[in-house]
Amino acid sequence: MVRVAIAGGSNGLGRVITSAIVSEGKHDVFVLSRRAATEDKTNSALNLQVDYTDPDKIAQVLTENKIEVVISAIGVLFEDTHLAQMNLIEGAERSSTVRRFAPSDFGIDYVEADKQGYPCVVPGLEGYKGSKYKLQALERVKATKLEYTRYVIGFLMDYYGFPAETIPVQPLAVILDMDNHAAAIPGTGNDKITLTHSETIGKFVSASLDLEKWPETSWIIGDTLTWREALEIVQDAQHKEFDVKFDSEEALKASQITELPANIPRYAIAGKPFLSGILSVWSLGFIWGWFDISSAKGEDKALNEILPQVETLSFATYIKRCWQ
Report DSSP letters for 124-185, one per residue: T-TT--HHHHHHHHHHHHHTSSSEE-EEE--EEGGGGGTTTS--SS-----SEETTTTEEEE
Angle between helices 55-64 and 79-94 (to 10 degrees): 50
pLDDT mean over 62-68: 98
- What band does 209 get if pLDDT is binned at 50, 70 and 90? very high
For the stretch 100-152, pLDDT in tens is: 999 999 999 999 999 999 999 999 999 889 999 999 999 999 999 999 999 99
Specify the pTM: 0.96
Would you kindly state where each structural domain of the chain is located, as residue ranges? 3-155+197-221+291-309, 158-191+226-288
Report d(CA 50, CA 291) in Å as an integer. 34
In this prediction, residue 252 carries a pLDDT of: 99
pLDDT mean over 209-233: 98
In this prediction, residue 143 carries a pLDDT of: 98
H/E run at residue 228: helix 227-238
In this prediction, residue 35 carries a pLDDT of: 75
In degrees, rounded to 5, the angle at the alpha carbon of residue 224 between the alpha carbons of residues 221 and 229 is 155
In this prediction, residue 127 carries a pLDDT of: 85
pLDDT mean over 61-80: 96
- What band does 34 get if pLDDT is binned at 50, 70 and 90? confident
List, in sequence order, every beta strand (DSSP E) within 220-318. Answer: 223-226, 243-247
pLDDT mean over 253-277: 97
Listed in sequence order, the residues at least 6 apart from 79 whose beta carbon sits closer than 8 Å to its beta carbon are 129
pLDDT mean over 71-97: 97
Report d(CA 160, CA 165) in Å as an integer. 9
H/E run at residue 7: strand 3-7
Task: Give, rounded to a whole angstrom, the gap between the first and last alpha carbons of the chain.
Answer: 40
Contact 167, 247 (CB under 8 A): no
pLDDT mean over 55-79: 97
Look at residue 38 and tell me whether its pLDDT is greater than 90.
no
Look at residue 67 and tell me whether its pLDDT is greater than 80.
yes
In this prediction, residue 44 carries a pLDDT of: 74
In this prediction, residue 50 carries a pLDDT of: 97
For the stretch 239-252, pLDDT in tens is: 999 999 999 999 99
Is the CATH number 3.40.50.720 carried by domain 3-155+197-221+291-309?
A: yes
Average pLDDT, the chain: 96
In this prediction, residue 41 carries a pLDDT of: 54
Which CATH entry fits the domain spanning 158-191+226-288: 3.90.320, 3.30.420, 3.90.25, 3.30.70? 3.90.25
In this prediction, residue 36 carries a pLDDT of: 66
Report d(CA 187, CA 193) in Å as an integer. 13
In this prediction, residue 322 carries a pLDDT of: 98
Angle between helices 315-323 and 227-238 (to 10 degrees): 30
Look at residue 43 and tell me whether its pLDDT is greater than 90.
no
For the stretch 296-324, pLDDT in tens is: 888 899 999 999 999 999 999 999 999 99
- What band does 28 get if pLDDT is binned at 50, 70 and 90? very high
Look at residue 37 and tell me whether its pLDDT is greater than 80.
no
In this prediction, residue 53 carries a pLDDT of: 97
